Every structure is written in C-alpha cells, then in structure tokens.
A = this chain, B = another copy of it.
C-alpha cells in the first residue's frame, strides 16, 4: 500500500463500510467468525473473510485459532485497532447530528 500522506494512510483502513462495521463489532470484545457473520447484517462470508485478512495483515485485528475438533477461530482488536475507536466515535457523532429524514 503506497500512501502519500497521513490522511490517506488512515483512510485506507477505514474507507470500507464492512471494515468499520467489523471494527465496531469487535470493540464489544473478542468474537468468533460465526458471531461476526451473524451480527453484521448483510455481510457475506467471503467479504467477512477477506476483510478480516486485511485487518490482520495490517495489525488491526488478531486472529486466534484453537486446535479443536470443530474449528474455532476468535478475532479481537489489537491496540492499534482499538486506537481507531475515537475516529469511529466521532464519525458516529457526526452522523447522528446530520443524518437527514
């Protein structure tokens, strides 16, 4: 990912609707793949997977695989991932204030 300025750099991590919904969901705590899929309305398995990979690659999310019979994989925010929350909060606040209709 080539970035040109800090603003663009940050945007690259939060420009996707699904990414921010995943991050927001994970601020509630560690969750399994399955839980995320159920809670994030409308997300497909493929999109969830690829976005989680992206977040993992960029150290925003940690993936923990449990070597048990039925697969169990847990996702949680890293400290870096958690540090995005003020931005999401501010975006939410702006949205509440300015949403029309």
Interface centre among A15, A16, A80, A86 (most CB of B within 10 A): A15
Indicate whether A70 reaches chain B with its CB closer than 8 angstroms. no
Indicate whether A34 reaches chain B with its CB closer than 8 angstroms. no
Contact yes or no, A20 B9, CB < 8 A: no
Contact yes or no, A88 B20, CB < 8 A: no
Q: How far is the CA of A8 from the CA of B80 in the complex (A)?
A: 21
Which B residues lie within 8 Å of A68 (CB)?
Answer: none
Q: How far is the CA of A4 from the CA of B8 in the complex (A)?
A: 25
Give A48-101 interface residues, CB cut-off 8 Å to B.
80, 83-84, 86-88, 90-96, 98-99
Q: How far is the CA of A3 from the CA of B94 in the complex (A)?
A: 14
Q: How far is the CA of A11 from the CA of B84 in the complex (A)?
A: 14
Contact yes or no, A90 B88, CB < 8 A: no
Residue from the list B5, B6, B92 in contact with A6, Cβ < 8 A: B92
Question: Which residue numbers of A lie inside 8 Å of B, CB to CB?
Answer: 3-11, 14-17, 20-21, 24, 41, 80, 83-84, 86-88, 90-96, 98-99
